[in-house]
Amino acid sequence: MSEAATLYIIYTEVGLCLVTIFFNTLSFASFAKRRNLGGRHMTMLTVKVAFDVLFALAALGYCGAILRALYGSHEGIDETIFWTGNVFHSLEISMAVLNFFIGLDRYLAVNEPLRYVTTYGPRVQRASILKMMVLYFVFFIFYAATEQPRGTFPHMFSQFANAYVTYYLYCVICAIFVANIAISVLFLVSFWKFLKKRSPDAGYTKNLHAANKIVICNLLIELIVLVIPTVFTSSALIFFKINLPDRFGPYTQALYVAYTAISSIAKRPLPPPPPTGRSSSYLCVNTMFMFVLDEENMKNCVIDSMTSMWRLAYSSRWTVWNEQRRIFSTSACVDCNPKRDFASWYGERTTQQQLGNGPKNFNDFLADLKVKYLQYVKTIKSSQSSVKIQNTVSSSSDSQQEGALWTMFWRCYDTFEEKTSFATLYVIYVAAITAITLTIVNFASLPKECDVSVAKSQESEHYLSWDKSKELREELKTKQKELYKLLRTKDSLDTRVEQLQKEIQLLKQQKPSMF
């Protein structure tokens, strides 16, 4: 693996992570200011934004460990690389599951608007977080259980994990991404049929193209950036025994970071209302009409776009949004008359212009909307109280069947606000599972007292960088030269001693007798 290529990829990942954190933090802050808008339709969007931030933070920790291994201290860095890489790669399956459930949420919101608000929406949202939790834990255990012996200089997660296990798990992730693309295509077809039944207004056609462009853009990004490269990499290893990341660097993990960064900045706001040259009544009606359609698009196909929420700053949006919820959540008879005028969407009444009394005053028009808004708030409060009572009864019945642990979990879930509960619980869950697993693994992997010296010697032998090994080789050569020199000196001394002994013996033999 080229060290220069690895460094370029890691630095690129760091930049993309910072971009993701910056844009998603701004989006999350903007959404928090308007947390009372959107209802259940904004819950999955909150999870998406919070998860992207969490994924970027995990990627930053993993990249920091790699850079420390390449430039900094090498002592104890192998454990840091393995566990940070385990957390990062385990979150990839959670990303795939979340995208699939977002697509399913869009599809159900278009095809079953009434049941989505009452039944399908809560079930999809709860199923999404449970699947994300379970699969994250499963992948984390798989990577931890298939850890391989470390090489001479480990600085990547792929040097610890089993390559075939890794790419088989990547195939599972790709299958979920393909399922997400399929459900998103079904949503796009359903939404196109939904808009086709409506009146052939120019605004519908323009916004239909905008919605199609956003959805198709997300599908193409997911297909090009994630699915095709991952399938190609896995196929090269499984069928041709070619490990491409070992040759070209860890580009697979960079693709996931790039996907989160692109999805956080590739947002396209809808066009603003007509500028000037019209009467105030026409501008108000046209503006509210565009806002209603904007909300429908945001609810169905732009669920991962924060720019739609930034359009909610107008003063009349609160009234129009509540009126829109009443329209799209009452019955299916909304589409039975596709050529209704705009006034009929907000009650079967005729305007003064239709009665022949001239254009209606703008202030009177807003006053009528305010009265209808107050009436609608009363009905919403009564319906919410009935829904809470129904949820309490259902939760009590479920607690008798499913046990106390399940009930305690969802009671904890209900204590949070609806917009932030999933994101908060998921962050807490990931942190808790990671800490518990690290504690268990470290406790189970403690060596025995008799094997401590052996383990330390093996670790020191397998954990030498190229700089340190070069110094050791030079020192070894120096010691060997000194040894050879001493050996040669010893041989010469032994030879000299033997010669002296022979000379002394000869002298003794030649000495005349004293007797």
Residue 436 shares a structural domain with residue 477: no
Query: What are the pLDDT digits (tens) for 204-244?
Result: 445 445 555 666 777 788 888 888 887 788 788 778 878 78
Minimum mean pLDDT range among 16-30, 365-379, 415-429:
415-429
- CA-to-CA distance for 469 and 473, rounded, in angstroms? 6
Boundary of a domain, candidates 399, 429, 456: 399
* Residue 452 forms part of a structural domain: no
- CA-to-CA distance for 86 and 143, rounded, in angstroms? 6
Residue 19 shares a structural domain with residue 89: yes
pLDDT over 50 (residue 114) = yes
Query: What are the pLDDT digits (tens) for 462-498?
Result: 444 445 566 777 777 777 777 767 766 666 667 777 7
> How many residues are there in the chain?
515
- Residue-number span of the structural domain to which 473 is assigned: 467-515
pLDDT for 341:
41
pLDDT over 70 (residue 259) = yes
Query: What are the pLDDT digits (tens) for 427-447?
Result: 666 666 666 666 665 555 544
- CA-to-CA distance for 164 and 77, rounded, in angstroms? 24
pLDDT for 147:
79
* Residue 146 forms part of a structural domain: yes
* Residue 459 forms part of a structural domain: no
Residue 365 shares a structural domain with residue 427: no
Q: What is the pTM of this model?
A: 0.55
pLDDT for 284:
39
> What one-character DSSP code corresponds to residue 35?
T
Residue 238 shares a structural domain with residue 98: yes
pLDDT for 91:
92
The more confident residue out of 394 and 29 is 29
pLDDT for 451:
45
pLDDT over 70 (residue 188) = yes
* Residue 457 forms part of a structural domain: no
pLDDT over 60 (residue 349) = no
Residue 57 shares a structural domain with residue 25: yes
Q: How far is CA 35 from CA 30, 374, 447, in A?
A: 9, 20, 52
Boundary of a domain, candidates 399, 431, 459: 399
Residue 147 shares a structural domain with residue 291: no
pLDDT over 60 (residue 62) = yes
* Residue 125 forms part of a structural domain: yes
Mean pLDDT along residues 356-376: 65
pLDDT for 416:
53
Mean pLDDT along residues 400-423: 54
Max mean pLDDT range (16-20, 124-128, 329-333, 454-458)? 16-20
pLDDT over 50 (residue 47) = yes
pLDDT over 80 (residue 101) = yes
pLDDT for 29:
72
Residue 362 shares a structural domain with residue 339: yes
* Residue 276 forms part of a structural domain: no
Mean pLDDT along residues 60-84: 81
pLDDT band at 400 (very low <50, low <70, confident <90, very high): very low
pLDDT for 303:
41
* Residue 450 forms part of a structural domain: no
pLDDT for 296:
44
* Residue 456 forms part of a structural domain: no
Residue 183 shares a structural domain with residue 257: yes
pLDDT band at 342 (very low <50, low <70, confident <90, very high): very low
pLDDT for 55:
92
pLDDT over 70 (residue 352) = no
Residue 7 shares a structural domain with residue 150: yes
Residue 240 shares a structural domain with residue 358: no
Mean pLDDT along residues 148-153: 63
pLDDT for 156:
76
Q: How far is CA 447 from CA 283, 345, 370, 451, 459, in A?
A: 76, 73, 73, 6, 12
Name the residue among 278, 258, 276 with its Cα closest to residue 266.
Answer: 258
Residue 395 shares a structural domain with residue 501: no
| Mean pLDDT, all residues of the chain | 67
Residue pair 319/369 in contact (Cβ under 8 Å)? The answer is yes
pLDDT for 484:
67
pLDDT band at 385 (very low <50, low <70, confident <90, very high): low
pLDDT over 60 (residue 4) = yes
pLDDT over 70 (residue 268) = no
The more confident residue out of 13 and 77 is 13
Paired tokens of 427:
């962050």
pLDDT for 16:
92
pLDDT over 50 (residue 403) = no
Residue 259 shares a structural domain with residue 307: no
Q: How many domains does the chain have?
A: 3
Minimum mean pLDDT range among 106-120, 125-139, 257-271, 305-319:
305-319
Q: How far is CA 510 from CA 496, 503, 506, 507, in A?
A: 21, 11, 6, 5
Q: What is the CATH number of the domain that holds 243?
A: 1.20.1070.10
Paired tokens of 294:
């904007």
